Amino acid sequence: MGLDTDALNRQSAERSRREQVEEERQEAYAREMIRNDKLSALASLRHEQDRRELAKDLNNFRSQNQRADTRREWDLNDPASKLKDKPGRISDFDRSLGLSAAQVFDGLFSKIFNLKYFQARILLRKLDVKSSKLSEINGQVKVFLSFYLTQK
């Protein structure tokens, strides 16, 4: 039984060459993975920077172009609207009112004055009646108390 040393040497050389090729391929895969990891990290960093930039631009746009006081319904939502609001009318002779907003007509002013005078007189009469009734009730209470206190 003879050994073929040339064939064994060829087989061992071929195996070592296959192992070397396999190692080179493994190293190439490792280098490719490292390169892909770096690219992925750069891409995610770039994506995060772009997202921050867009958020900053959006906030700038909103602060410059979409302010609350420029909205269509701002007059309904203005917190200081009561401070800025003007009264409907200042007096009967307000110059800002037009003809269709007339409040006083000829002869009406004297009638209003007379009406208020008569209303005040009626109110005074009612107060006098109430005060006389109150003084009468006070007198009755005094009589009752004096009677009640003398009974004890």
For residue 87, what is the DSSP state? P
2 in a structural domain: no
- Considering only CA atoms, which of 115, 117, 93, 90 is closest in space to residue 104? 93
**pLDDT score at 19:** 96
Give the residues of the chain that fall short of pLDDT 70. Answer: 1, 92, 103-112, 152
**pLDDT score at 103:** 67
User: Given the structure tokens 């909103």, which residue do they identify?
Assistant: 62
**pLDDT score at 117:** 84
Range of the domain at 38: 11-66
134 in a structural domain: yes
Round to whole Å and give the CA distance between 121 and 145.
Answer: 36
**pLDDT score at 71:** 84
16 in a structural domain: yes
Number of domains in the chain: 2
**pLDDT score at 52:** 98
For residue 86, what is the DSSP state? P
**pLDDT score at 95:** 76
**pLDDT score at 23:** 97
What is the maximum span of the chain, computed from C-alpha positions, in angstroms?
157
95 in a structural domain: no
Helices marked H in the chain — which ranges?
A: 5-65, 74-77, 81-84, 108-151
42 in a structural domain: yes
For residue 85, what is the DSSP state? P
75 in a structural domain: no
